Amino acid sequence: MLVKFYPNAYISSLADVNPGYFSARGIKGLILDLDNTIIPWRAGDFEPEIVNLIKEYKEAGLKLCVVSNAFNKRVTGLLEPLGIPWVARAGKPRRKPFVKALSILGSTAGETAIIGDQLFTDIFGGNRIGLYTVLVVPISKREFIGTKFVRVLEKIFLHKLAQKGVIEKPR
């Protein structure tokens, strides 16, 4: 059961992985979480580095889709200009939004990875349907009060995982 919470990799920032990291693992589609993964929580704009990164992934032929629990208005406003499809108000870790993302991406679960900053939504949800899961340290320390509480549990859990040595370190 607890295995479902293990990410395949744990990275300190998105710069720790690149398109080659994913293609080497047979991954064709990439699901991205939004808040605190590719944009600070509540921020209104993407950093230029993120815009470049998205471009780099697209040019490498990887298909991208954002799956976010945030409201539709926020997600649409941010993603439409970037030209990336999205699933908003996803209710992760439910399976449904991930299945929808797979159909948008046109890849199977085994050919798809997720990058997200939350163990109990992004990683657990991704593992439930068999994605390659990458946990990233959140961009910003600012977040929803409920998330702050969950972080305490997450910290304990990650410490245990590190002790067991079960997480793959990228590169």
- Cβ at position 26, least distance to Mg ion in Å: 26
- 155 burial (CB, 10 Å; 0-12 / 13-18 / 19+) is exposed
- Cβ at position 165, least distance to Mg ion in Å: 26
Smallest CA-to-CA distance from 86 within 54, 129, 127, 120 is with 54
Per-residue contact track with Mg ion, 88 to 117, x per CB under 5 A?
-----------------------------x
Residues 34-93 that bind Mg ion (CB under 5 A): 35-36
154 near Mg ion, rule: CB under 5 A: no
Closest CB to Mg ion among 28 and 128?
128
Sign of the dihedral defined by the CA atoms of residues 117, 123, 124, 129, in that order: positive
- The site that binds Mg ion (CB under 5 A) totals a number of residues, namely 4
Closest CB to Mg ion among 33 and 154?
33
CA distances (Å), 151 to each of 28, 80, 147, 154, 171, in order?
30, 30, 6, 5, 26
Q: Rule CB under 5 A: which residues touch Mg ion?
A: 33, 35-36, 117
